[in-house]
Amino acid sequence: MLFQIKKNEWLGNERNDLFAGLVSSVAILPEVIGFAIIAGVPPIAALFASAITLLVVTFTGGRPAMVSAAAGSMALVIAGLVNSHGLNYMIAATILTGILQMIFGFLGIHKLMRFISKTVMFGFVNALAILIFMAQVQQLPGQTWASYAMVIVSIGLIYLIPRFITVVPSALIVIVVMTIVAFLFKGNLQTVGDLGAMNDITPTLALPAVPLTLKTLWIILPTSLALAMIGLIESLLTVPIVDEMTDSKSDSQREVKAQGLANIVTGLFGGQAGCAMIGQAVINVKSGGRKRLSTFISGMTLLLFIFALKDLMVGIPTAALIGIMMTVAVDTFDWESLRLFKNREFKESLILFITVAVIVYTHNLAIGIVLGVLLTGITHLHFFAKVSNSSND
């Protein structure tokens, strides 16, 4: 059931979920703000959309502790529509995206995941790890020496702190300490507030101001289909990663429906489409998040940042977040997959390499995954053909 709430999915890990939710909420900020600017969406509106997505998926999703928000992969898709037709058409596309995902959920699209091989999964994970790392590196040019120093110190502390303190996630300690440093040395460090204007927002629940005509449908349908597929691919591929990290099971069909519902609600509030965010999901789990409470805390913290603690939010140094996300990228990369090359498994290695290369080059998960699946299918057909010819001989 979509709205079934189980007590054991919420309670039993309160302290860790609280800290993890705080860490993941801050980890969301740079990606959402940065890609909102690229897409032509007001950063504060993107953060509000992320909070709504997080909270809706928290209550309705099939994978506790998986972070969903206004991901960069989705923002890149909506950029063209915003540039050509404006924000209202983007909002309409978000609502249609949610409707399509709900339909796909009832049709059982999650079952198609069985056609994605482990090699393609490796490619997906490694490509996203590379993209997360590259996104951090791209923020470094033009920074001050103080920022470079903070990035290095933050990375060092992430690995050093757990040797002495395990009660509180090292990422949360780094964020608190570095924010204090940034307040003491104002002007020497780039902060979240420097990424984009943080104007006030007044949430309203309403339909977008677009004509309810077939012409409007044809304008938004291509974007909505792309958003629906990319959002579901990223979410459904993130689910098993969190499953493995937490040694627990999930309900993929429920997650598909929840992603759709979240996009409908977010659109009605004037926000942009979202999906699972692997980097933030990993940092949530690495910080101790296991239950729905972790993502609930994350969503509520975002709302607090937006409406009550904006001055604190804009003072968080981006250098600390860059350092944290670099460690997340390293931890996300599946180093075991490199054994394919070591063991000289040529076909599997080639599929892995092509999947990673295509995703990194295009920044489009759907293209990379579909190509990986096709290559896997061709490889298997070739194998069966050889077996058949051998048996005939």
In a domain, 20, yes or no: yes
Same domain, 108 and 229: yes
* CA 76, 77, 83, 88 torsion-angle sign: negative
In a domain, 93, yes or no: yes
Give 111's DSSP letter: G
Position 381 scores a pLDDT of 63
Total tally of structural domains belonging to the chain = 2
Average pLDDT, the chain: 89
Same domain, 265 and 347: no
**CB proximity list for 301: less than 8 A, separation 6 or greater:** 21, 22, 25, 26
Reading the block at residue 159, the tokens are: 């690995």
Kindly indicate the confidence band of residue 240, based on its pLDDT and cuts at 50, 70 and 90: very high
Do 258 and 61 form a contact (C-beta atoms < 8 A)? yes
Same domain, 218 and 304: yes
Kindly indicate the confidence band of residue 285, based on its pLDDT and cuts at 50, 70 and 90: very high
Q: What is the mean pLDDT of residues 11-40?
A: 91
**CB proximity list for 72: less than 8 A, separation 6 or greater:** 31, 34, 35, 135
Q: Which of 265, 284, 317 is where one domain is finished?
A: 317
Position 389 scores a pLDDT of 52
The Cα 377–Cα 368 span in angstroms is 14
Kindly indicate the confidence band of residue 253, based on its pLDDT and cuts at 50, 70 and 90: very high
Same domain, 73 and 215: yes
The Cα 323–Cα 43 span in angstroms is 22
Same domain, 313 and 341: no
Same domain, 307 and 346: no
Q: Which of 250, 284, 317 is where one domain is finished?
A: 317
Q: Which percentage of the chain shows pLDDT scores above 70?
A: 95
In a domain, 192, yes or no: no
Boundaries of domain holding 245: 7-114+127-145+205-317
Same domain, 291 and 342: no
**pLDDT digits 0-9 by tens, 106-151:** 999 999 888 888 888 889 889 988 988 888 888 888 889 999 999 9
Give the lowest-confidence range in 164-168, 235-239, 244-248, 316-320. Answer: 164-168
Same domain, 281 and 375: no
| Residue 284 Cα to chain centre, angstroms | 11
Same domain, 373 and 342: yes
Same domain, 210 and 312: yes
Position 343 scores a pLDDT of 76
Q: What is the mean pLDDT of residues 21-48?
A: 90
Give the lowest-confidence range in 89-98, 221-230, 295-304, 338-347. Answer: 338-347
Position 72 scores a pLDDT of 83
Q: What is the mean pLDDT of residues 339-368?
A: 85
Alpha helices in the chain (DSSP H): 14-39, 43-60, 72-85, 87-107, 118-137, 145-160, 170-184, 214-246, 252-268, 278-286, 292-307, 310-314, 318-332, 339-342, 346-362, 365-392
Do 372 and 379 form a contact (C-beta atoms < 8 A)? no
Do 15 and 290 form a contact (C-beta atoms < 8 A)? no
Position 147 scores a pLDDT of 92
Q: Which of 317, 352, 372 is where one domain is finished?
A: 317
In a domain, 198, yes or no: no
In a domain, 154, yes or no: no
Say whether pTM exceeds 0.85: yes
Position 1 scores a pLDDT of 53
Q: How many other C-beta atoms lie within 10 A of the C-beta of residue 339?
A: 11
Same domain, 231 and 287: yes
Same domain, 11 and 80: yes
Position 384 scores a pLDDT of 45
Give the lowest-confidence range in 58-67, 75-84, 279-288, 366-375. Answer: 366-375
Is the pLDDT at 303 greater than 60, yes or no?
yes
In a domain, 251, yes or no: yes
In a domain, 241, yes or no: yes
The Cα 67–Cα 306 span in angstroms is 18
Give the lowest-confidence range in 268-272, 313-317, 364-368. Answer: 364-368
Is the pLDDT at 388 greater than 60, yes or no?
no
In a domain, 2, yes or no: no
Kindly indicate the confidence band of residue 34, based on its pLDDT and cuts at 50, 70 and 90: confident
Q: Which residue has the higher pLDDT, 388 or 144?
A: 144
Reading the block at residue 304, the tokens are: 């607090």
Question: What is the full DSSP assignment across 275-323?
Answer: EE-HHHHHHHHHTT--SHHHHHHHHHHHHHHHHT-HHHHHTSBHHHHHH
Position 380 scores a pLDDT of 61
